A = this chain, B = another copy of it.
Amino acid sequence: MKFSILARDGSARRGQIQLERGIVETPIFMPIGTRGSVKTLERRDLDEMGAQIILANSYHLYLRPGIEFLEDYGGIHQFIKWDRPLLTDSGGYQVFSLSELNHIKEDGVYFRSHLDGSRHIFTPESNVTVQRAIGADIIMALDECQPWPVTRDYALDSLQRTTRWAERFLEAFNTSHPLYGQEQVPFAIVQGSVYDDLRAQSAEDLMELDFPGYAIGGLSVGEPKEDMYRITRQLGESLPQARPRYLMGVGTPLDIVESVAAGIDMFDCVIPTRNARNSTVFTRQGKLQIKAVRHSRERGPLDPECGCYTCRTYDRAHLRYLFHVNEFSAMRLATIHNLTYYLDLMQAIRESIASGVFEELRQQVTQAYREHDETG
C-alpha cells in the first residue's frame, strides 16, 4: 500500500491509497456490505455509482459462509465477484453488539453465535487468520469497542488491552501471508472513549507499533456530537500525517464534512443504506422523509442535481408510492440514490480540497443538514 497526499486545504487532505486491487481516492466513503453485498444492491450498482472500496464484516463472514468455505472459494472477492478494494473490520464490534454471552479475557473475546448459540473465540491471532482467509485488502486489528458511557477506569483498562491485542495482531500478521496473492494491509484502532488523555495515550501507544493506517473507533456510539468532533479534531492533529485515518461508523453528511475538516480520510456508516430502507433520503437540500404525504403528488426527482438511476427515472411521487405499498424496490431505489449522494459528496469534497474551496462546501452541507443532524 502506498498513501499519497495530493492536496491540502486547512487540515483537510485529498489523497490516494494505492492498493493492489485499485486506487482509493480520499476522502472516501465505504458502502457497507456486511455479508459481502451492500443490502439491496448488486455489483453493477456499485460500479455505476463509482464505489472504489466497500466494507465487509469479519464476524458475519466468519459465521456464514465460514472461513473454510471462503478459503476453498479463493476469498471474498471471488465469491462476491468484486475485484476492487475491500476492507474488513475485525468483527470485534459485532461480537459485543450482536453475540450473546460474550466475555473478554486477556487472550481474546469469547462469544456465542447470535445465529445458533455455538461457542467461539476471537483472539488477535485467530482474527488475523480469519481476515487472511476472507482476503480483504485492508484489515482491522481486533479491538474492544467500548460502549458509551464508560468509566474512565474501564476505558483505560480496555484501551490498554486493545493496544496489547494490536501488538499481538501485528505480530501474527507479520508472521503470516496473504492466501490469494494480493497484499493485505493492517490498520490499528485508537480507543479511549471521550477522554482526551486516554485517546492521546492510545494513539501514542499504537503509533509506536507503526501500523500503515490508523482508525478511530468507539465514536458515534451514542456520545454527544461535541465529544465526537473534539476527539476527532484531537486525533486529526496527533495521528501520523503520512498515514490514512479512518473514522469508523461515521456518519451524517454534516459529520463527514466536520471530520474531513479535522483531517479524516476514510468513512463507513450504515446511515445512507439503513436510512434508505427506512425511506429517508439525502439530497443537496437536506434530508427528505419520502413517505410523507407532502410528496404524494410531487413530480421530479429526489434531487435534481443527482445523476443516479432513481433520479433519472422516477418521480418523488412514485418513490413515495412504492414505500407506501411496501414494494422492495422502494428500498433499493432509495439505497441507490443515498449512496450516490454520499459518493458524490466525497467527490465534491475531494475536488473542493484540490481547488482550495473546501470551506465553502462545508458551509453548504452544514446549511443543508444542520437542522436535521440529530435524526441521522
State A333–B37 Cα separation when bound (angstroms).
12
- Is there a chain B Cβ closer than 8 Å to A318's Cβ? yes
Contact A65 B321 (CB under 8 A): yes
In the complex, per-residue mask of A315-335: 1 if CB is within 8 Å of any chain B CB, else 0: 101100110110111011100
- Is there a chain B Cβ closer than 8 Å to A42's Cβ? yes
Interface residues of A in 264-300 (CB under 8 A from B): 296-297
Contact A73 B309 (CB under 8 A): no
Question: How many copies of this chain are found per oligomer?
Answer: 2
- Is there a chain B Cβ closer than 8 Å to A72's Cβ? yes
In the complex, per-residue mask of A355-372: 1 if CB is within 8 Å of any chain B CB, else 0: 000000000000000000
- Is there a chain B Cβ closer than 8 Å to A44's Cβ? yes
Contact B44 A309 (CB under 8 A): yes
- Is there a chain B Cβ closer than 8 Å to A41's Cβ? yes
Q: List 29 A-B contacts (CB under 8 A).
A: A35-B321, A36-B321, A37-B322, A37-B327, A37-B329, A39-B329, A40-B328, A41-B329, A42-B309, A42-B313, A42-B332, A43-B313, A44-B313, A64-B321, A64-B325, A65-B296, A65-B324, A72-B297, A73-B297, A73-B317, A79-B315, A79-B318, A79-B321, A80-B318, A81-B313, A81-B314, A81-B315, A81-B318, A328-B328
Interface residues of A (CB under 8 A from B): 35-37, 39-44, 60, 64-65, 69, 72-73, 79-81, 296-297, 309, 313-315, 317-318, 321-322, 324-325, 327-329, 331-333
